[in-house]
Amino acid sequence: MKNNFSNISICSAFFVAMLALALNGCKKDSDGSPDVKPGDPVATALSPDSAGVNTLLTLQGTGLGDMRSIVFDKNNANATFYSTLNTGSAIIFRVPDTAVRGQQNIVLTNSAGKTLTVPFKVLPFGVVSSAFPTDFEPGSLVTLTGNNLDVVTKVVLSGTTDQATIVSQSLMQMVIKMPASSVAKATLVLTSSAGDKGTTIEFVNVAKATLPLFTNDYVNPAQNWGWGGTYNPSSDYIVSGSASLKAAYDPNGSWGGLQIGMGTETPIPSETKYFTFWAKGADADQVITLDIQGNKSTTPIEVKKNFTVPANKWTYFKYDIGTLMPGINALNIIVFQINGAGKTIYYDNIMFTK
């Protein structure tokens, strides 16, 4: 019995010691970063040693632990990096969106204030971070925002030879005139002296919508069946083309409805994936009820969904029809009903797409 008790005591002591070590280790590694002290940083390799913005870089060396900042010094652009992957021998980070093109230094500083300077060349790829609008028609204007856009010499729709016309360009902004195209949607490919760079943003061709309801006007068989306001084409504000749909809900009434009725029940093409539209808000955020009714000739289905139109700006809405309107394969009416007192909201490119 004495020997057994002694063995149990030894095991218990060992367990407690291991638990203490584990807890201590957790405290040191509470943010998921390796427990590597700052050292005297030395670089042995940077891969790649030249690249465009957003490119992932790997720096190898010694004493690289606990880095706190990484700056591209030509314009003091701060890089994002992964502290959880920062070891004494390597650190991974991206060329920042804001980095200026050309030869410069990357300056790394650790928690002890010690710095490391590594030469690097930012290549002048044209990069797009945002665009408005992302719908287009032949001849419509699209504004691209990003970096190195002043050195872009050509813009085409990906997978095609359909080339946009460059209307104006500066370092961080470019306006292009979109071409006619047979594709339903595509990204853009920008060409500069550094090479080709594709966008992650996808652009939708209004002319190839599977079932348009309103583009520059109501599209046959879609008709204005609205109440509690006036709902007509207007050139006040547009996303693409020549007109949007001005929904002037009666300011002296409430619960007005922009109702788009189909002159006859209209099948939704089988290749359709999305219901999309743009909406420009009034002076305050507005809640709108979207009411879709279909299949009346067989088994009627009605679905309703509330959405909010932010004030004073265009907002794009895109819904997967399998989630939004399950079971509806033929359309009768779509209603955009304002919740409460009337305001004026503009809609554009109300349509079903691939």
Q: What is the pLDDT of residues 161-188, one digit of tens each?
A: 999 999 999 999 999 999 999 999 999 9
Domain extent at residue 107: 42-122
Return the CATH number at 237. 2.60.120.260
Q: Are residues 142 and 90 in the same domain?
A: no
Query: In this predicted structure, what is the pLDDT of residue 34?
Result: 63
Cα 115 from chain centroid (whole Å): 35
Q: Are residues 179 and 201 in the same domain?
A: yes
Q: Are residues 198 and 242 in the same domain?
A: no
Low-confidence spans in the chain with pLDDT less than 70: 1-34
Tens-digit pLDDT profile for residues 25-76: 333 344 555 678 899 999 999 999 999 988 999 999 999 999 999 999 999 9
Question: Would 266 be classed as within a structural domain?
Answer: yes
Q: Are residues 231 and 148 in the same domain?
A: no
Q: Are residues 273 and 201 in the same domain?
A: no
Q: What is the pTM of this model?
A: 0.80
Query: In this predicted structure, what is the pLDDT of residue 210?
Result: 97
Question: Would 29 be classed as within a structural domain?
Answer: no
Question: Would 33 be classed as within a structural domain?
Answer: no
Query: In this predicted structure, what is the pLDDT of residue 253?
Result: 83
Question: Would 201 be classed as within a structural domain?
Answer: yes
Query: In this predicted structure, what is the pLDDT of residue 233?
Result: 98
Return the CATH number at 104. 2.60.40.10
Question: Would 179 be classed as within a structural domain?
Answer: yes
Domain final residue, candidates 82, 105, 122: 122
Q: Are residues 140 and 228 in the same domain?
A: no
Domain final residue, candidates 76, 99, 122: 122
Domain final residue, candidates 181, 206, 231: 206
Query: In this predicted structure, what is the pLDDT of residue 82?
Result: 82
Question: Would 77 be classed as within a structural domain?
Answer: yes
Q: Are residues 145 and 169 in the same domain?
A: yes
Instruction: Report the number of distinct structural domains present in the chain.
Output: 3
Query: In this predicted structure, what is the pLDDT of residue 63?
Result: 96
